Amino acid sequence: MTLPRPRGASRVLLGLALLALPAGAAWLAAPWRPAGPAAPVRLAPTRAAVEEGRTVVRLTPAERRRIGIETATLRAGAHREERQAYGAILDLARVTELTNAYAAAKAQLQTAQARIEVSRSAFQRAKALGPYATAVQVETSEGAYRTDEASLASAESQLRTLAATAQQEWGPVIGRAIVGRSDLVTRLIERERFLVQVTLPPGEAPAAAPAVAYAEVPPQSARVPLAYVSPATRTDQRIQGLSYFYTVAGTSGFLPGMSTLAFLPADRAVEGVAVPEEAVVHWQGGAWFYRGVGPDAFARHPLGPDAPMSADAFVVAGLPGETEIVLKGAQALLSEEMKSQLQVSGGADDD
């Protein structure tokens, strides 16, 4: 016979069953309440705003130091314009070949000269003996002399041919350097210097080739000086412009077969502010730089597709006589400007 349970037993068992449920199922026993409003999303503070039709980035001195903004006040003035040209580092195997061939031909000439001195003396002695020398002796000595005479003429012709070939292929300056094995050719053969052919765009013809030009070493685009040698004896088939020979240090980072941009000082000067190349940023297919428009305020300024260059800087006309230019940190300013545009577009989408 089963005894009846007390009335409170069912409530106790239900409470124990709820305690035994997993934590994730506890909501089954909780009363339902409507959800409250979502917390607002806080956007990162923007430092850029549109003022007078342009976007201005404003920074505190602490923010400038943190993101590495460095500026300089540059004055407008006259700057000697640079022509952009194209350089090719030449293979000097042919120069080495001609130099060695000329040295060998010169040695053959000296040998021929020594032999003809001996054979000439023998022939003269045979003739001087008169009746005491047999006809065979005279004929033999004369034959040796005539043979050495022909060898000497051949050696002299070979030497002249090599000298003419060197000047035809490399011009009078390098040609004479090959013939005389001067310091210029020695340094080229020993790779202390490399020979660079610099070609101007078609139609450009300076009054004289500059004594010093510059080339950009890839990939860092650092500039190295080029020393003028002579006009080139041929043009670059890809460009079809006037060409010049320059040399560059063998430790510059160039190797034979490489191509580079070259810059030659032009005859005329241009007016404006010289903006260094490292201050330029690229965005949306254009080139820009940042300039100061107030205390700790900066605005982006277009560089222009045809801005002339001078001494590794872009010359920009139309700026104030003294302009604060951002030399380092322009990319960070562009990021701040783009951040403000993204926040504005995001807010418009939410509306």
Quick: pLDDT tens for 74-95.
999 999 888 899 999 999 999 9
* Residue type at 101 in one-letter notation: A
pLDDT, the chain, mean: 83
Contacts of 339 (CB under 8 A, 6+ apart): 44, 46, 48
pLDDT digits (tens, 9 = 90+) for 297-321: 999 999 988 889 888 899 999 899 8
Task: State how far the alpha carbon of 87 is from the alpha carbons of 59, 81, 97, 194, 241, in Å.
Answer: 43, 19, 23, 12, 12
CB-CB neighbours of 122 under 10 Å:
16
pLDDT for the residue 45: 56
Residue 279 and residue 316 in contact, taking contact as beta carbons nearer than 8 Å: no
Q: Is the confidence at residue 19, as pLDDT, over 70?
A: no
CATH number of 48-81+270-338: 2.40.420.20
pLDDT for the residue 344: 52
The domain ranges of the chain are 48-81+270-338, 86-90+192-267, 93-188
pLDDT digits (tens, 9 = 90+) for 191-215: 999 999 999 999 888 888 888 899 9
Q: Is the confidence at residue 115, as pLDDT, over 60?
A: yes
pLDDT digits (tens, 9 = 90+) for 124-171: 777 777 776 677 777 888 888 889 889 999 999 999 999 999 999 999
Nearest alpha-carbon partner for 225 in 266, 260, 175? 260
Instruction: Report d(CA 275, CA 239) in Å as an integer.
Output: 29
* Residue type at 132 in one-letter notation: Y
**Least confident window among 19-23, 94-98, 119-123, 262-266:** 19-23
Confidence band for 189, pLDDT divided at 50, 70 and 90: very high
Confidence band for 40, pLDDT divided at 50, 70 and 90: very low
pLDDT for the residue 251: 93
Q: What is the 3-state secondary structure (H, E, C) of the chain?
A: CCCCCCCCHHHHHHHHHHHHCCHHHHHHCCCCCCCCCCCCCCCCCCCEEEECCEEEEECCHHHHHHHCCEEEEEECEEEEEEEEEEEEECCCHHHHHHHHHHHHHHHHHHHHHHHHHHHHHHHHHHHHHHHHCCHHHHHHHHHHHHHHHHHHHHHHHHHHHHHHHHHHHHHHHHHHHHHHCCHHHHHHHCCCEEEEEEECCCCCCCCCCCCEEEEEECCCCEEEEEEEEEECCCCCCCCCCCEEEEEEECCCCCCCCCEEEEEEEEEEEEEEEEEEHHHCEEECCEEEEEEEEECCEEEEEECCCCCCECCCEEEECCCCCEEEEEEECHHHHHHHHHHHHHHHHHHHHHC
Interstrand relation of 77-89 and 70-75 (parallel, antiparallel or unpaired): unpaired
Instruction: Report d(CA 189, CA 186) in Å as an integer.
Output: 5
pLDDT for the residue 129: 75
